[in-house]
Structure 1
Amino acid sequence: MADTVYAPTTAPNPKDKCFLVPNDLLDLSRFFLKLAQVVLSFVAFVQEELVSSCASCGPLYFFEFVSCSAFLFTTLLLVLLATALHRRVGVARWSALDFLYTSCIFVLFFIASISFSAKNSGTNLEKSAAVFGFLASLFFGLDLFFFYRTHGLPWKPAQNQENPTNEAPAPEAEKLNENGA
């Protein structure tokens, strides 16, 4: 009898879960996009590290820096957004941070992949690393597209649905009585 009384009102504690996807910052599709970004940037970084000699080392080092940074920081961002840790960090605008970070990495990864593919020795390993760089860039771009499609621009003020013209509300027509009622 006690089970029938308490069972419908008892709910699991949401704080017990450490993995919080989907949530208001990260939906399931963007979670998998970010996971693919981590994997692709890691593979690009590892393949670049396996290159033993370079004819023009500047683009190689730039590609190394971008792919390593993308792997490490995207992993950190993914862990923060997919767990309750984002509540403990003093960032008020996670969506703006996510959008700006993803935009910067997209542009840097794309430029690094272009320069590395244009200035390499032509080995299969270098070509493969550049391909993974372009794939990672593609997934960063897709993440930006899905973010914009679902949330819009993060710094754009949200439209007020009740007052879309942003005009001041009309004053009240009925005044309060002297007794406040």
Structure 2
Amino acid sequence: MRTPIETNQKFVFRLEDFVYASLIVYFLIFGTFSHQVITFNSAKNSAIPFIFMICLVGICIIVPALLIFLSYRRRLQYDYFVEDESILCERNGREIFHIPFKKIVSVRVYNKRGTQGSIIFYTDLSSKDYIFSYFPVANIMPLSLYGLTRKKINLVKNRKELLTAIYRVNPKVYFIE
């Protein structure tokens, strides 16, 4: 029997959206360096540095906003189901992942205090060693801890019921903090 998992269809900022928004910092660092080079090499009354800064500010606003909008549109196409003690994710009728509850080793839950939150599922044993930090350290934390993975359910409304069902079948499941 296929039971749908209810998710929030409204726009909500998720952790991966903040990752996209942090691209502004990288664009500004690159842009500042490029602006200094252009200003140094251009004529005294040239409009090129001014035009470059307008384009840079436009890129800093448009690129992250476009990434956030496209991720929201993609999220609306996903359907999640619980079927025979497993989690099934479909996008436009195609199966994205199918994870049995017994194979789930670790779970990372966002928004633990609220009524809804995203859940990321890990099926490898090395996930028990992951430690979440808001300041990523290279080669220690995978990007999946920040929500950049396919094995997740976004904005689950009945999150506690789903986690309880997983825990009943697999009591050894590890929760990543």
Give the structure-1-normalised TM-score: 0.27
Q: Which has the higher contact order (CA 8 A, sep 6+)?
A: 1
Give the structure-2-normalised TM-score: 0.27
* Greater strand share, structure number: 2
